[in-house]
Structure 1
Amino acid sequence: MKRLLLCFIMISGCLSLSAQAEQLRFERNGGNYNYLWKDSQNNTQALSFSLLNYPHKLTKFTQYRPEQAQQYVLTKLKPSLRKIDPKQAKVSFNTQHGQLSYQLQGNDQAFIQEISEKLSKEVEQHYQDYLTKHYFIEKQAADGAMGIMPDHNRLAQESAEYLFSWLNNSLNQLDEQAKQRQVSNYLLSFVQSIPYSELRSRDRLRGAGFLTPIQVIRNNVGDCDSKTTLLASALKTLYPRLDVAIVYVPNHALLAVSMAPQAGDETVTIKGKQYLLLEPTGPALFELGKVAKESAQYIHSGLYTYQQMDWVPPEFKREK
């Protein structure tokens, strides 16, 4: 029987201990946004762009609740349960202690076994449907425990096409010959300058611990995995051949990209390949290859997991 009591993996730590990002101005007028901030070189950067036509589903995120998942599964099971002859088998459910379990009673053990196997498969399918519908995945945390977390990969993919204005106008702020590393540092400093928040609501449920990429821009706030997902979506869209992965260490998330490291850069190995590390969280203004001390310690100790961006980005064309 599928156990519906997996903790929600909270990834909201801020490990940054360096020069602090400074957002000098944020203005939103409808779907138009204006920013002024200081980058890692203490240069003032100005940027304007639009964020329009995104679907409503990318403007909300609700924390995983086992009780809600249980109710969803039970509702979906009703048609199958109605087909079971009560004279052959009786089914009872238990939802105590945050877990969903069931018991089958009947005289024909072969029939009971058959019904049990069918119910188990159906429960699993409905549970996975619930996770997919609400943008959750089951994943092993850095400490080895299994839990539920936002599907950062899918949210980055589905948000990508709505970030074109931000990406296009960012490129137009740079020299036409700007290299991949320069562009990435520019986007990194922009994301780092967005105010940091652990995103915990009073009831610790609605939106706790994560905002979608669209929400990060709209609300001008984000925690580590929210900001990292936004930057992952941006870099994968700009550079389709770039391998991008979100790296999870205890209570924190950062980004890894398959760019060539420079001397002194922090890297991580994923499937035998070296990736350059980035710290999108802020407020520390770490450039590419520089990460918080705690992040580096976890990486060096092997205390990390990752999720690769495995999608083909929408076609992006720069417009001047």
Structure 2
Amino acid sequence: MSDAALRKPRRWHILVFLAPAILIYTVIMIVPLAETLWTSLEGVRDGETRFVGLENFRVLFGDPRWSQSFWNALGNNFYFFAIHMLVQNPIGIALAALLSIPKLKGVAIYRTVIFLPTILSFVIVGFIWKLILSPLWGVAPGLLGTIGLKGLFAPYLGVEAYALTTVSLVSVWQYVGIPMMLVYAALLTIPDEIIEAAECDGITGFRQFWQIRLPLILPTIGLVTILTFVANFNAFDLIYSMQGALAGPDGSTDILGTFLYRTFFGFQLQQGDRHMGAAIATGMFTIILLGVSLYLFVIQRRIRRYQM
């Protein structure tokens, strides 16, 4: 048999099927990303756009007028992410564990009610919670008063110490259904034989979840973690709808997304600067890329070794 006959046939049909997706992804994602990276390396000098290298990043990190706002937004972003990691994801895992109880009735109703806020518009969510928390016409003071806790009420969205935490908890309320559904789906895929074997060994209840179920869903929890990280460092919409582009009071709720918006498009008396905006966007992309790389090449490998 000749060498030509032994050669594997070239599967050109694979490229044909992939071509539309690759083309759309390139136009929508790759080209804008490349344009943003290039724009961050340009600047306006003497009325002309010129290549300035890393000058925009030097200004962003070194000029007090820019660096103070940038580091404040970055710190707030990490706090925003920490609230979701410490509140949203544990609650989502706990809800998923409760919904996976075989004898629980009305599971479909509970799933729908918890997941419903996720599909609501961020404008609706932000507006509703601003009404609820308003000290003038909101229902929160009255509700706290009915249970004797009216003294705990404060204008949370108007106080620097509480504003970011309040907005973060509103975001948790809206999106807690996503980790719940992902973990719930992972719990349903655990083979019944494993659970039955654990019950035969007397491992039931919380102990069964901690020793048997939780290790088996660690890859899903890792996925939830990285999705939370990416979503939080791309966040913008809810804070914009609740606190405006200035992310008040006094920038206490300012994150990278709102800082990028004001810088790129301008706001009130602040003139937009697309080159500095592109530099901020490049910084956001770098942070997200580092976080995703850490998960893929370090955390995910350790999870696999743990399971083996």
What is the TM-score with the length of structure 2 in the denominator? 0.24
1 or 2, which has the higher helix percentage?
A: 2
| Larger Rg computed on CA atoms | 2
